[in-house]
A = this chain, B = another copy of it.
């Protein structure tokens, strides 16, 4: 198994064949990894949070669940998760508008641009920015539907394992959010890793 680095604050994408598994490792333990998957044969079909929630009938997927595309076909199945099971399907990827709103007056790395950058390294472009599967991101909800941004509960070296249900392009962003505590209270985004296995 050869590990591929998702550089701190940046994106990385890769081709995955149907049947292969993808291990996503929270190397330093407190890093949110925004995740997207696109049908290799037609990038306009992609993993969709709003279609997946309607199928799994859960806010957060867990081992045994299949994530669906916007054509309601399984694209990734959750096989294994030793991270504590806290991920997010509710929040948009951060983007330049988010950092402008948070007071940034110059460029700030962001997950939306990282998706485009990761795909561009493969000679591809996203047809749009789907709402991401935010691995290790901690967005608790209350009975009345209030949401909050909280530090991850995951620990160094924890991982999740996914299986590709079709030939796909997987894209990750090591979220560069260093203003809110979503990547831990130290405000230091780190690298993460993934590995594609047989």
Binding site for B on A (CB under 8 A): 48-51, 53-54, 57-60, 70-73, 90-92, 95, 97-98, 100-101, 127-129, 131, 141, 143, 145-148
CA distance A70 to B71 in the complex (A): 22
Partner of A72, one of B48, B101, B131, B148: B101
Mind listing 14 A-B residue pairs with CB under 8 Å? A48-B92, A49-B50, A49-B131, A53-B91, A53-B92, A54-B91, A54-B92, A58-B145, A59-B90, A72-B95, A72-B101, A90-B90, A141-B141, A143-B143
This chain's copy number in the assembly: 2
Q: Which 4 residue pairs spanning A and B have beta carbons closest together?
A: A59-B145, A50-B92, A72-B97, A50-B131
